[in-house]
Amino acid sequence: MRFTIVIILAFLIGAAVFAEIGQTERRLLRADPDALTADPDLRRFAVRRGQPLFLVHCAVCHGAAGAGDRIKGVPDLTDGDWLYGGGRVADIERIIEYGIRFRHPKTWSLAVMPAYGQPQPNPADPNIHPLAPGQIDDLIEFLLRQQGREANAAAASRGAALYAGDAGCYDCHALDAKGDAAIGAPNLTDAVSLYGDGSREALFLSIAQGRQGVCPAWIMTLSAAGIRETAFYVYSISHREGFHAD
Ligand code: HEC
Ligand code: HEC
């Protein structure tokens, strides 16, 4: 008899906790995801629930701490540097929902990095003309100069002309090489490197072979609340200052 009462009590407590979580998730979905400071309790709730989801679904590529993997071209989610958008919760949420270059009609897929070392016609874009290895080297010296690193001056000037001229790099990465977050073209002037360590060799590979990183879409796998919770968690690890889970 006493045992039955314990079971019933445990069930009732479990049901109450479940209902409470469901209610908070509904509040979370109704809230403006970027009005973060308005409701710290809700924010903490989301970050706490987002972390285990991140560990299960995202850590395999982005790493348990979200630091990414430059060998595989997986971005660091903690550095405050964003390929797409400005790192608002809504921006992050959209990436999680539809992915990048993934099999979903709403995925982010507005540009790929063409392979300039390939002969014509370039499968990625017939308008892209191949570059000779020496021209790619000149472009690299130009990029190093833009980053404030040591570069061969004559080669960098030739590279600058190619960049803003025939090679067409400016079209995606902008004339000042600071990139374009509307199409996922990275800033080439900062110390943040998506592929490799920023060395001449790594830059050469990106330009010669092209790049097209893929992040899966999660709208078929995670609930709407789960996606928002994961987005809050990613936001929290990229804004450590003044934003804690507890
Ligand atoms: C199969 C590996 C893989 C998995 C799993 C994965 N990602 Fe990604 N993610 C990537 C890659 C690669 C990119 C970079 C795409 C590119 O080059 O544009 C990326 C990009 C992103 C970006 C954009 C970062 C920026 O700088 O703009 C966000 C945000 C992101 N992922 C979040 C997530 C979250 C959250 C999950 C789990 C729900 C997840 N990813 C799961 C591989 C993965
Ligand atoms: C059609 C648009 C487009 C053009 C033109 C283009 N890029 Fe890119 N580039 C991209 C995109 C998009 C990425 C990111 C690819 C990814 O996320 O997988 C990229 C990535 C890169 C990277 C890797 C950056 C990193 O952080 O690892 C380098 C280097 C680069 N581009 C240099 C160039 C140079 C030099 C040119 C001209 C010869 C050029 N790009 C032309 C779109 C373009």
pLDDT at 221 over 90: yes
Q: Report the distance separating Cα 238 and Cα 139, nearest Å.
A: 31
Domain coverage including residue 17: 2-109+221-238
Q: Report the distance separating Cα 95 and Cα 84, nearest Å.
A: 8
* One domain for residues 11 and 102: yes
pLDDT at 179 over 60: yes
Residues linked to residue 108 through DSSP beta bridges, in sequence order: 100
Per-residue pLDDT tens for 66-78? Answer: 999 999 999 999 9
* One domain for residues 26 and 68: yes
Tell me whether residue 81 is in a domain. Answer: yes
* One domain for residues 23 and 105: yes
> For residue 87, what is the domain's CATH number?
1.10.760.10
pTM: 0.93
Q: Report the distance separating Cα 212 and Cα 114, nearest Å.
A: 9
Tell me whether residue 74 is in a domain. Answer: yes
* One domain for residues 48 and 82: yes
Structural domain count of the chain: 2
CB of residue 128 inside a 6 A radius of ligand 1: no
Mean pLDDT (the chain, rounded): 92
3-class secondary structure, 208:
helix
| Band (241; pLDDT cuts 50, 70, 90) | low
* One domain for residues 228 and 204: no
* One domain for residues 104 and 137: no
* One domain for residues 92 and 137: no
**Which ligand neighbours the alpha carbon of 82 most closely?**
1
CB of residue 139 inside a 6 A radius of ligand 2: yes
CB of residue 46 inside a 6 A radius of ligand 1: no
Tell me whether residue 40 is in a domain. Answer: yes
pLDDT at 245 over 50: no
pLDDT at 243 over 60: no
CA of 207 from ligand 2 middle (Å) equals 7
The DSSP 8-state label assigned to residue 100 in this structure reads B
* One domain for residues 102 and 42: yes
Q: Report the distance separating Cα 170 and Cα 164, nearest Å.
A: 6
* One domain for residues 9 and 104: yes
Ligand 1, atom 36, lies closest to the CA of 58
Tell me whether residue 120 is in a domain. Answer: no
Per-residue pLDDT tens for 88-127? Answer: 999 999 999 999 999 999 999 999 999 999 876 666 667 7
* One domain for residues 17 and 91: yes
* One domain for residues 26 and 101: yes
CA of 215 from ligand 1 middle (Å) equals 4
